[in-house]
Amino acid sequence: MSEEVDQRVLLPTNVRPTHYALTITPDLVNFTFKGSEVVNLNINENTSVITLHANDIEIRSAKLVSLALKTSQSHRAVNITRNPDKHTVTLTFPQELAAKTTATLHIEYTGILNDKMLGFYRSSYKDHDGKTKYMASTQFEATEARRAFPSWDEPAIKATFDITLIVPSDTTALSNMNVVSEARLGDGKKEVKFARTPIMSTYLVAFIVGDLGYVESSTTGKHNNGKPVLVRVYAPKGEEKHGEFALGIAKDVLEYFAEVFGIPYPLPKCDMVAIPDFEAGAMENWGLITYRTTAILFDPKASDAKFKHRIAYTVSHELAHQWFGNLVTMEWWTHLWLNEGFATWVGYLAVDKLFPDWEIWNQYVTDGFQRGLQLDSLRSAHPIEVPVNDSSEIHQIFDAISYYKGANVIRMLSTFLGEKVFLSGVKRYLMRHKFSNASTNDLWKALTEESGNDVSKFMTLWTKMPGHPVLTVDEIENTLRIRQCRFLSSGVASPEEDNTIWWVPLGVDLGPSDPQNEIRSVVLTQKEMTLVLPEKYEFYQLNARKTGVFRVNYSPERLFKLGQAVKKGLLETSDRIGIMADAGALAASGYGKTSGLLSFIKEFENEDQYLVWCEINSRLSGLLNVWFEQPEPIYQGLLKFQRQLVSKLVTKLGWEYPESDDYLTTMLRTLLIRMAGRADDPETVREAHRRFHAFTKKNEESALHPNIRGVVFEIVLSHGGGNEEYDSILKYYSESRAADQKVVALTGLGFAQSDILIQRALKFSTSEDVRNQDIIYAFAGLQTNRKARRALWNYIKENWYLIHERYSKSLALFEHIIKFGIELFASEDDVKDVEKFFSNKNCKEFERPLQQSIENIRANAAWIERDSKDVKDWLKANGYLQ
Nearest to 416 by CA among 299, 521, 278, 270: 521
Q: Return the biggest CA–CA distance within the chain.
A: 95
The answer to whether 350 touches 320, Cβ cutoff 8 Å, is yes
Q: What angle do CA 55, 56, 62 make, to 5 degrees?
A: 70
Is 705 labeled as ligand-binding? no
The answer to whether 4 touches 32, Cβ cutoff 8 Å, is no
Helix H or strand E segment including 523? strand 523-524
Dihedral sign for Cα 79, 83, 84, 88, please: negative
- Taking CA atoms, 338 is separated from 409, 484, 583, in Å, by 11, 27, 31
Nearest to 688 by CA among 669, 703, 671: 703
Helix H or strand E segment including 675? helix 663-678
Is 317 labeled as ligand-binding? yes
Is 321 labeled as ligand-binding? yes
Collapsing DSSP to helix, strand or coil, 555 comes out as coil
Strands (E), 237-306: 269-275, 282-283, 288-292
Instruction: For residues 7 and 318, give the distance between their C-alpha atoms in angstroms, rounded to a whole number.
Output: 31
Residues comprising the chain, all counted? 882
Percent helix, strand, coil in the chain, to 5, is 45, 20, 35
One-letter amino acid identity for 606? N
Helix H or strand E segment including 348? helix 336-354
One-letter amino acid identity for 154? E
Q: Please list, residue by residue across 444-462, b when 16 or more beta carbons sit within 10 angstroms of its beta carbon and e when fewer do.
A: bbbbbebbebebeebbeeb
Residues with a known catalytic role: 318
Instruction: For residues 293 and 282, give the distance between their C-alpha atoms in angstroms, rounded to a whole number.
Output: 9
H-helix segments, 703-810: 709-718, 723-735, 739-749, 755-765, 775-784, 789-798, 800-807
Q: What angle do CA 790, 792, 797 make, to 5 degrees?
A: 95
Nearest to 62 by CA among 10, 6, 106, 124: 106
The answer to whether 782 touches 718, Cβ cutoff 8 Å, is no
Q: What is the 3-state secondary structure (H, E, C) of 796-852?
A: HHHCHHHHHHHHCCCHHHHHHHHHHHHCCCCCHHHHHHHHHHHCCCCCHHHHHHHHH
Instruction: For residues 146 and 118, give the distance between their C-alpha atoms in angstroms, rounded to a whole number.
Output: 11
Torsion, Cα of 671, 674, 675, 681 (10° steps): 140
Strand order in the sheet with 212-218: 212-218, 230-236, 269-275, 288-292, 282-283
336-354 vs 244-261: helix axis angle to the nearest 10?
110
Strands (E), 144-187: 160-168, 172-175, 179-186
The answer to whether 374 touches 405, Cβ cutoff 8 Å, is no
Instruction: For residues 153 and 52, give the distance between their C-alpha atoms in angstroms, rounded to a whole number.
Output: 8
H and E: helices and strands count for the chain: 28, 28
Q: Please list, residue by residue across 642-681, b when 16 or more beta carbons sit within 10 angstroms of its beta carbon and e when fewer do.
A: bbbbbbebbeebebebeeeeebbebbbbbbbbbbbbbbbb
Instruction: For residues 574 and 569, give the distance between their C-alpha atoms in angstroms, rounded to a whole number.
Output: 13
Instruction: For residues 67 and 563, give the distance between their C-alpha atoms in angstroms, rounded to a whole number.
Output: 79
Nearest to 403 by CA among 346, 441, 352, 448: 346
Instruction: List residues forming the annotated binding site.
Output: 317, 321, 340
Instruction: List residues forming the annotated binding site for Zn(2+).
Output: 317, 321, 340
